[in-house]
Structure 1
Amino acid sequence: MEGVKQEHTPRRFDHCLELEAKAARFQAYGATLVPGLLQTPAYARAAFRRSHPSATSEKIASLAADQMSRQEVLRSDNPPDY
């Protein structure tokens, strides 16, 4: 999980971040939200703004940046199938 910031991730999801970093394949289905690994910075900011309406712009930007850092796994030499 090097390079992935965890300070904005609830502790209950720590195991998910560990598994995500080691995964060989991802499968997801959702009708209402683009999965975090596939979000653009603008989409992530909008999603965080909706779920954290009282957060500062700086906090939203920080959350979105952390979300984008998770995408490094998709740019690795041996990325998982998604």
Structure 2
Amino acid sequence: MIQKKKYKSVNYGSLVITNTNKYLISIGLGQYIIDDHSVFAISLSSPIGRILLDKKKGDSFIFNNNAEKIIDII
């Protein structure tokens, strides 16, 4: 059985689920569609990666004039 690792804050390897997007913190590979869900594979050195680094569940942020709230970090 595969167990999901829960992250307390955003870091390399985490999947960040916000109210509008899903971000996989990895290398910058762009957007993927997985089971009809859009996931953005982003680098920690990217602009959105730098914003997300060390954020926690419940934190809010603004990127490209859009407000997002972190719902979960897996």
TM-score, normalized by the shorter chain, greater than 0.5: no
Report TM bin, short chain: under 0.3
Structure number, greater radius of gyration: 1
Greater relative contact order (Cα 8 A, min sep 6): structure 1 or 2?
Answer: 1
- Normalized per residue, which structure has more helix? 1
Q: Structure 2-normalised TM-score?
A: 0.27
- Normalized per residue, which structure has more strand? 2
